[in-house]
Structure formats: C-alpha cells, structure tokens
Amino acid sequence: MQALVDWISQPWPWYVSGFLISLMIPLLALFEGKPFGVSRNFRHLCAAILPGKDQYLKYDWQRVGWWNLTILGGAVLGGWVATIFLVPDQLHLSEAATHLIQGWGVSVGKALSPTFFMDTNFVLSAKGLLVFGVGGFLIGFGTRYAEGCTSGHAIAGLSNLQFPSLLAVIGFFIGGLLVSWFVLPVLFIN
Amino acid sequence: MKTQIFRVLYYLMVGVFFGIVMTKSEAVSWFRIQEMFHFKSFHMYGIIGTAIGFGALFSYLIRRFKAKDLTGTPIYLEPKAPHGKYNLRYLLGGILFGMGWALTGACPGPVFVLLGHGFGVMAVVILAALVGTKVYARFHDRLAA
C-alpha cells in the first residue's frame, strides 16, 4: 500500500501520462459518443454570460455544452485534489531548461508554476497584462478561429488523422516558438 | 432523474481524472511548456506523442468495430471540416493560440486545472479568453470563410 502511495506521489513518467490522457477519447466516446475538446467550453461560457446579438453565440449552450462544462468543473476539482493529496510540488525540469529560464530572470524551484503567478505587483503591471491578459485573449480568440486547442486538435484530431488538425498544431508551434524564443527571454528582465 | 445525476457525476469524475493527470504529468507547468518550445527535454513530446499513439489506436478500434456507446448509438468520430481552399483558419488560429499558450504556459484545460491549484490569476486568463471569444463571435461571419 505504501509503495502505491509513494508511486502515486511521484511525478509520472511521460508514457504513463500520455496513455492516461489518451483514455479521455474512449471515456467520452464509449459513454455517450462525445468528442474530447476543452476549448469549445469558452464558446459555451461566452454564450452563457455574454451572448449579445452575435449569431455565433445564439444556441442552447446548456443542452449542447453541459457535459463539457461539467468536465471543466471536474478539472478544477482535480487540480485541487492533485495539489492537496498527490503532489507536494516537485518539478523535474531538465538542467538545460532550468539554466535557460533562470537566464530570463525567472527563478526555477521545485514548484510547478513560477512565483510571478502569485505576484500581485507583476500581475497588475504592463508585463503581467501582456502575459495573462493578452495571453488569455489569444487563447480565446485563437482556439475559436482554429476551432480547437491541444485536446481537440493535437490529441483527438491527430489521433483521428485529420489534416486540418495537423495545420493547427503546426500553427501552435509557430506561435509558441515565436513567443518563447523572442518575447519571454526579454520580458522578465527589468 | 437518477440517470441525470449519474451522468453529471460521470463527467465530473472524467474532469477530476483529467485534472489529476494534467498535474501529475507536469503538463500544467509554465516551465515545462517553455522547455518544450526550446526542445530542452523529450518529456512533453513523449506525453503528446504517446497520447496521440494510443488515441489513434482507440479511434481506429472504434471505427473498425463500429463501436456503439452506452446508449446504443453508433459512435461518430467527427472529422474537422475543411474551410476554404487552404484551411488557412486552422493555421492562423493555431498561431494565435500558440502565442497565448507560450505566454500563459497553459492551454485551455490546464488554465482551469491551475485555477484548482489556487492560482487566482487564472481567472484573469479565463476572462480575457472570454473577451477573445466574444471578439471572434463578432467577426465570425467574416472569418468563417
């Protein structure tokens, strides 16, 4: 029993994590034929909160999206469960990445998330607005324009051999590489 | 009524499972995302690659055996609709999302998982994403070519 607890408390190897993530596809398909795709929840939430006059947001979001929004609520709960019961923070970042990111002026410890996530001064600064405000905006706008995110395109779409998903994933990397190579290295240096 | 409660619980548990896996895999980590975009470790590529590999196997088996879901309905794995001659929206939207992914270090699932980790700042990300969704909705007719 203790061995099991110890094993669960450790970070999981990539092949275990990857396999478990792939289970989302049969867990949703075999139950009620649902697709795996997280970002469409932004459309449901927007239809619920800010429908306005836009046709795109005029649909029965409760009927179409209740199950996916329920998963989203579960994901919040799962994050909480994992941090309380399963992981004392113990990031296993590579040496190379640790050096690189420390060179940007961001401290790297054992925590999964950087300390600036909790730094109110940073969050309310222009840089914080860029990271979280502009970043969030691009996530919302980009996933609707591309009709999917990492789950719907990279995992479900590529698994189902969808060419549009390959284009989307290539896009994810073009955008991500641009920001991670040319914006973030200079962003945190005062 | 009883079955409705069961359905809600089922999807809730699927979400809890997802949140735990995202955390334990470290895929919610801003550091891991930067590491991935700088090709400094195989970790994230291993996760995504394994997920696609097994996902492809499950998708194949569902199609091959014409699997039905628990309600008895044949499962339809919806294809991604082509848009225009070059499917440009997938690439352009993907680039914009990729920029947001690198900035926040989180894709849509992890944004909510991190909220569960106690990072209130993710509420800012979610609100901003809803504004982004609203702006997209306003231009949907013109963008949806």
Percentage, residues of chain B above pLDDT 70: 98
Mean pLDDT of B61-68: 96
Contact across the interface for A176 and B37, Cβ inside 8 Å? yes
Q: Which of A75, A167, A170 sits opposite B116 (nearest CB)?
A: A75
CB B44 within 8 A of CB A176: no
In chain A, what are the helix, strand and coil shares in percent, each to the nearest 5?
70, 0, 30
At residue A176, the pLDDT reads 98
Whole-angstrom distance, CA of residue B24 vs CA of residue A82: 7
Q: Is the pLDDT of residue A88 over 80?
A: no
Nearest CA in chain B to A161: B56
Contact across the interface for A94 and B50, Cβ inside 8 Å? no
Q: Is the pLDDT of residue B83 over 90?
A: no
At residue B40, the pLDDT reads 97
At residue A2, the pLDDT reads 73
Contact across the interface for A43 and B133, Cβ inside 8 Å? yes
At residue B84, the pLDDT reads 82
Token pair, residue A14, equals 């990539």
pLDDT-derived band at A171, boundaries 50, 70, 90: very high
Contact across the interface for B134 and A136, Cβ inside 8 Å? no
Q: Is the pLDDT of residue B114 over 90?
A: yes
Contact across the interface for A136 and B132, Cβ inside 8 Å? yes
For A40-62, letters b (16+ CB in 10 Å) and e give: bbbbbbbbeeeeeebebbeeebe
Whole-angstrom distance, CA of residue A21 vs CA of residue B113: 14
Token pair, residue A172, equals 């994810």
At residue A37, the pLDDT reads 96
pLDDT-derived band at B122, boundaries 50, 70, 90: very high
At residue A10, the pLDDT reads 72
CB B102 within 8 A of CB A176: yes
Q: What is the CA radius of gyration of chain A?
A: 19
Entry field: residues in chain B: 145
B40: chain A residues, CB-CB within 8 Å: 94, 96-97, 100
User: Tokens 């969030």 appear where?
Assistant: A136
Mean pLDDT of A43-52: 96
DSSP category for residue B74: B
What ipTM score was computed for the predicted complex, to two decimals? 0.96
User: Pick the residue with more confidence: A86 or A69?
Assistant: A69
At residue A11, the pLDDT reads 75
Q: What is the pTM of this model?
A: 0.95
Percentage, residues of chain A above pLDDT 90: 89
At residue A61, the pLDDT reads 97
Beta partners for B68? B74
User: Tokens 């789950």 appear where?
Assistant: A151
Q: Is the pLDDT of residue A53 over 90?
A: yes
Residues 6+ apart with CB under 8 A from A185: A103, A104
pLDDT-derived band at A44, boundaries 50, 70, 90: very high
Mean pLDDT of A35-60: 96
Q: Which of A75, A142, A177 sits opposite B93 (nearest CB)?
A: A142
Q: Is the pLDDT of residue B14 over 70?
A: yes
Number of A:B CB contacts under 8 A?
508
pLDDT-derived band at B82, boundaries 50, 70, 90: confident
pLDDT-derived band at A86, boundaries 50, 70, 90: confident
At residue A189, the pLDDT reads 83
User: Pick the residue with more confidence: B81 or A39?
Assistant: A39
CB A24 within 8 A of CB B15: no
Each residue's pLDDT tens digit, A10-38: 778 999 999 999 999 999 999 999 999 99
Interchain CB contact of B64 with A (< 8 Å): no
Token pair, residue B76, equals 């339809």
At residue B145, the pLDDT reads 61
Q: Residues 31 to 50 of B: which have CB under 8 A from any A CB? A: 31-35, 37-38, 40-44, 46-50
